[in-house]
Amino acid sequence: MQRNRRAEGGRIDRSRPLRFTFNGKPYEGYQGDNLASALLANGVRVTARSFKYHRPRGIVGHGPEEPSTLVELDGEDASGNRPATTVPLCDGLSARSVNCWPSPGFDLGGVNQLFSGLLPVGFYYKTFKWPGWHLFEPAIRKAAGLAAAPASPPASGHFEARHAHADVLVAGAGPAGLQAALKAGRAGKRVFLADEGTEAGGSLLNRALTIDGKPAMDWVSGTVAELDALENVTRLQNATVWAYREHNLVMVNECDPDRDGILERSWRVRAGEVVIATGTTERSMVFGNNDRPGVMLASSVQAYLNRWGVVPGQRVVLFTNNNSAYAVAADLAAAGVSVSAILDSRRTVAPEALDLVAGLTVHLATVVSEVRGHKGVRAVKAAPATGGAGTWIECDLLAHSGGWNPNVHLWSQSRGALRFDDDLAAFVPDQPVQACRAVGAAAGDLSLDRIIEGGADLAYGIEPLWRVDVPGQRGMAFLDIQNDVTVSDVHLALREGYSNVEHVKRYTTAGMGIDQGKTGNINIIGTVAMQQGVPLQDVGTTTFRSPYTPVSFGAIGGLREETVLFPYRHTPVTRWNKDNGAVMYEAGARWQRPGYFPKPGEGLQEAVNRECRAVREGVGVYDGSPLGTFELKGRDVPKFLDFIYANIMSSLHPGNGRYGLMLSDDGLILDDGVVLRLDAHRWLLSTSTGHADAVNQHMEKLLQTEFPDWQVMITTVTSQWNNATICGPRSRDVIRALGTDIDLSPEALPFMSFCDGTVAGFPARIVRVSFTGELSYEVNVAPRHMAAMWDKVMEAGAPFGILPVGSESSHVLRVEKGFLSLGHEVDGTVDAYDLGMGWAMSKKKADYTGKRSVMLRRASGRVRRELVGILPVDPDRQIPEGAPLTPGGRKEATEGLVTACVWSVVNNRWVGLALLENGHSRHGEIAHVRMKDDVIPITITKPVFHDPEGKLMRS
């Protein structure tokens, strides 16, 4: 039974009852309710337990400011830590309080209250210190936790993130926002109006105000109707502007978009101008036991009454320092609710406020010093503001108003300055930094008559009271209800030397809850100011950070999940690879590549051995398409290549290719690759797969910023050429079997040359390069022919036992030859000399990228780590890649590391490569790998284990 629901009034639909459960108990509410209004309607007072002390808590606010009642939603749309005031009620909703077990009414964690002295402010700073922190951490985490992350993603539907552009973005559809949107909309501008509420109107939804003598909501509906008729206006409800980024990029999170299947939608709006019409939030009063269930913000009591037809108490006391609570009292009295007293900390009150509450008891210069009642307010102590004995007033609801804070979060996020306004006793927007303006209550216009012509409202009239400070007051006085931070916590932090407000915040965690202290932060600043005897302006605010209210990770990610979480690239052979049992994974630059091709029942090593044997003894083929390829054109290409490569490229003749190292100007190896000269002015440059983009950037940067006069034009053709690299002693036979008009004899097509022609009927370019050390032909064709070409290679190669080769085998084959791999042997510290590739560093050229730095570094004479081969003394002993080498295997500084270790089919043992101090002069020595619990002796050798003269690849 909704015992606190009025028979009529409010913006709910009593003809549409909704059933829901809270902590397992069934309740009923109405369409238009949120979870909080429905709980209050049902008379549920204790709705939560506090974070640290597990004190019983009720509902405090009516919107995103709610500090107290956080819930976890069950079922399909499970989510955690949602303020109950922001959860729209729907049929079948199932919610639980966070942070209590088994229920907020009977919470075992409540024993923490008895030990509150053991949980002082700065508890984390004082406890989580080495070496003991890991002993406390699991227990603390469990006890202090909020809701758990949902166990699984939503069962149906998905999130969407999208972009939008507007001339004017208006944040907030209250009276000021609606006016701003209407003006811009009528002027034909592209307007984006986003409002966090379920319907437009802002504070007008909660208050019984008039515009031009008519109900203010009539004006709202008229304005909304006009806006919705304008094609250039986009109006969203349930859409919170939660971040204001650089250059007027504004993030909007739309919950419950008007489209089935989309759970939440994240908008990234770039706006010409941003109008901040975010309204204002009422702040708490600070007094003893101000967190008891039944202590609520006055404006929230008014909202529940007017908007949801709910009376959260039968006997009400109001406590205020400004005029706004008088309208609340008047609304309550008009609804027949018993108002026991209005306690006002001010000495004088404007007559028009008093006129509103004629007939009610008003005590001026009076404060609430303490609340009695554990699971609900039973009485409040009214004490003279200047001290002296108080009197208890019985009541079940205390509605308090500590004044109003303009919602400057977005303004502050935009880096706009804030100014403390003494008349308003609040921080208000000062100078903007970006193209934005604040309007309405957000700008400090705290009564309707200042916002809209014809609006009737009481003047604000505040005299600030940052905390009640009368002798003999008792009970914890909370500044931050969500994080359980009290006045004495802030005093302790100040005594312990945390005097800056940012330090106070971090030390006490005040304002660091998910409500970001919307109702309490100003009182913290006020408390600090009172203690230090300085104006609030000098204390300043803590930084307002996004998100303004919590946002689902899903909404931020949008469509990015499952298979498209990361980009992926395919070649025309990907389908064949998958059909033929390849184990696929990413191998650089987002390319999905086959790792190996296991036969049924075969493991990785067996498959790799089989593939390697095919290449060494017969023939294998791999898909080399991912290699980065660039066509360079222009008269200055030779000069340019000589500048970016360490060796000389300009002497290449058309039809030939050359391997080279590319350095950065600080002397590190950027890439290695092969350059082909197509004709006088056209060149083809290939890069390692993973560095294609970096090389492109490097080249374009040099050409555009250093040498704008050089005539070099670069076109990326990585995906214009695919290639099947056929390698092994029988590779020539396979190409002949495929059919080609290219003369394959070693005389006509020697190692490091290329020729254009046809292969298997396809236009092709054959390039004789080798990354395996075997006779090898890179058959390049256009991607449109690649899949067909691949089929023909497999068919023509079948009589020769051709096997597809994955990247695992490619790795083994290159290690056997000592061919370097960027990321393995090249780690950003080694140079070409360390790799035994001094020949790749031209001595003839006076200058090329990186030369000076390499020479400078080598001139220092420091010990270098040099590339060596390693043979484990026990040939069956594998060494993990990356394992450290130390002198004698002792626990000393390392002298190198193992960069690769593979099972070599041709050597029938494990072989590897390592970078070792002075390695070039240590061939034949025994060195030691130091493992955590073992020392492995290895023999140092030349870094080549197969065909050291390189005869095979030149055959």
Smallest gap from residue 784 Cβ to other proteins (A): 6
Query: Toward other proteins, which CB reaches closer, 380 or 637?
Result: 637
Q: Which stretch binds other proteins (CB under 8 A): 57-65, 92-100, 555-563, 933-941?
A: 555-563
Site for other proteins in 763-782 (CB under 8 A): 782
Among 85, 571, 807, 809, binds other proteins (CB under 8 A): 571
Residue 747 binds other proteins, judged by CB under 8 A: no
3-state secondary structure of 469: coil
Q: Which stretch binds other proteins (CB under 8 A): 42-50, 275-283, 595-603, 717-725?
A: 717-725
**Dihedral angle sign, alpha carbons of residues 167, 171, 174, 175:** negative
Smallest gap from residue 762 Cβ to other proteins (A): 13
Q: Which stretch binds other proteins (CB under 8 A): 241-249, 296-304, 471-479, 831-839?
A: 241-249
Smallest gap from residue 725 Cβ to other proteins (A): 17
* CA 422 – CA 234 distance, rounded (Å): 38
* CA 386 – CA 375 distance, rounded (Å): 30
Site for other proteins in 95-154 (CB under 8 A): none
Among 697, 757, 761, 799, binds other proteins (CB under 8 A): 697
Smallest gap from residue 808 Cβ to other proteins (A): 21
Strands, sheet with 295-297, edge to edge from the N-terminal-most edge strand: 295-297, 397-401, 315-320, 338-344, 362-363
Count of beta carbons in the 10 Å neighbourhood of residue 415: 11
Site for other proteins in 320-359 (CB under 8 A): none
Residue 249 binds other proteins, judged by CB under 8 A: yes
Residue 163 binds other proteins, judged by CB under 8 A: yes
Where do the H-state alpha helices sit in 828-896?
851-859
Among 747, 847, 876, 933, binds other proteins (CB under 8 A): 847
Residue 287 Cα distances to 45, 112, 628, angstroms: 20, 21, 69
Best CA proximity match to 684, nearest among 694, 673, 693, 671: 673
Count of beta carbons in the 10 Å neighbourhood of residue 887: 13
Q: Which stretch binds other proteins (CB under 8 A): 156-164, 347-355, 788-796, 817-825?
A: 156-164
Smallest gap from residue 9 Cβ to other proteins (A): 36
Q: Which stretch binds other proteins (CB under 8 A): 158-166, 277-285, 306-314, 328-336?
A: 158-166
Residue 155 binds other proteins, judged by CB under 8 A: no
Residue 761 binds other proteins, judged by CB under 8 A: no
Cβ-proximal residues to 4 (8 Å cutoff; 6+ apart), any chain: 40, 41, 42, 43, 310, 311, 312
Q: Which stretch binds other proteins (CB under 8 A): 697-705, 747-755, 798-806, 823-831?
A: 697-705
* CA 228 – CA 222 distance, rounded (Å): 10
Residue 718 binds other proteins, judged by CB under 8 A: yes
Residue 16 binds other proteins, judged by CB under 8 A: no
* CA 585 – CA 591 distance, rounded (Å): 8
The per-residue DSSP string of 139-189 comes to HHHHHH--PPPPSS--SS-EEEEEEEEEEEEEE--SHHHHHHHHHHHHTT-
Q: Which stretch binds other proteins (CB under 8 A): 15-23, 305-313, 475-483, 849-857?
A: 849-857
Among 456, 604, 713, 798, binds other proteins (CB under 8 A): 713
Where do the H-state alpha helices sit in 659-802?
692-701, 731-738, 783-797
3-state secondary structure of 40: helix
Residue 39 binds other proteins, judged by CB under 8 A: no
Site string for other proteins, 174-213 (x = CB under 8 A): ----------------x-----------------------
Indicate left, alpha or beta for 696 from its phi (over 0: left) and psi (-120 to 50: alpha): alpha
Smallest gap from residue 835 Cβ to other proteins (A): 22
* CA 221 – CA 199 distance, rounded (Å): 10
Token pair for 404: 């109003």
With 0-12 / 13-18 / 19 or more C-beta atoms within 10 angstroms meaning exposed / middle / buried, residue 57 is: buried
Residue 162 binds other proteins, judged by CB under 8 A: yes
Q: Which stretch binds other proteins (CB under 8 A): 53-61, 393-401, 718-726, 799-807?
A: 718-726
Among 421, 666, 827, 947, binds other proteins (CB under 8 A): 666
Residue 950 binds other proteins, judged by CB under 8 A: no
Using an 8 Å Cβ cutoff, are 512 and 544 in contact?
A: no
Residue 543 binds other proteins, judged by CB under 8 A: no
Using an 8 Å Cβ cutoff, are 578 and 568 in contact?
A: no
Among 246, 453, 747, 934, binds other proteins (CB under 8 A): 246
Smallest gap from residue 368 Cβ to other proteins (A): 45
Among 6, 245, 491, 920, binds other proteins (CB under 8 A): 245
Q: Which stretch binds other proteins (CB under 8 A): 26-34, 68-76, 129-137, 553-561?
A: 553-561
Helix axes 487-495, 521-532, angle to 10 degrees: 50
Query: Toward other proteins, which CB reaches closer, 748 or 855?
Result: 855
Query: Toward other proteins, which CB reaches closer, 81 or 232?
Result: 232
**72 bridge partner residues:** 96
How many residues bind other proteins (CB under 8 A)? The answer is 69
Query: Toward other proteins, which CB reaches closer, 100 or 714?
Result: 714
Among 389, 846, 863, 893, binds other proteins (CB under 8 A): 846
Radius of gyration of the chain (CA): 37
The helix (run of H) or strand (run of E) holding residue 723 is strand 722-727
Among 261, 471, 497, 533, binds other proteins (CB under 8 A): 261
Site for other proteins in 426-465 (CB under 8 A): 433
Residue 861 binds other proteins, judged by CB under 8 A: no
Q: What share of the chain is helix, strand, coil (3-state, %, to 5)?
A: 25, 30, 45
Smallest gap from residue 236 Cβ to other proteins (A): 14
Site for other proteins in 620-639 (CB under 8 A): 625-626, 631, 633-635
Token pair for 707: 């040498």
Residue 272 binds other proteins, judged by CB under 8 A: no
Among 478, 507, 591, 819, binds other proteins (CB under 8 A): 591
Longest dimension (CA), the chain: 114
* CA 485 – CA 286 distance, rounded (Å): 11
DSSP structural state of residue 647: S
Among 665, 881, 917, 947, binds other proteins (CB under 8 A): 665
Residue 415 binds other proteins, judged by CB under 8 A: yes
Query: Toward other proteins, which CB reaches closer, 91 or 693?
Result: 693
Q: Which H, E and C letters describe 225-263, residue by residue?
A: HHHHHCCCEEEECCEEEEEECHHHEEEEEEECCCCCCEE
Among 149, 187, 680, 931, binds other proteins (CB under 8 A): 680
Count of beta carbons in the 10 Å neighbourhood of residue 871: 18
Count of beta carbons in the 10 Å neighbourhood of residue 74: 14
Q: Which amino acid is at 52?
A: K
Among 503, 681, 942, 954, binds other proteins (CB under 8 A): 681
Where do the H-state alpha helices sit in 309-379?
324-334, 351-356
Where do the H-state alpha helices sit in 586-715?
604-617, 637-644, 692-701
Point out which residues bind other proteins (CB under 8 A): 158, 160-165, 190, 245-249, 259-261, 268, 270, 415, 433, 558-560, 563-564, 567-571, 574, 591, 625-626, 631, 633-635, 665-666, 678-682, 693, 697, 700-701, 704-706, 711, 713, 715-720, 782-784, 846-847, 851-853, 856
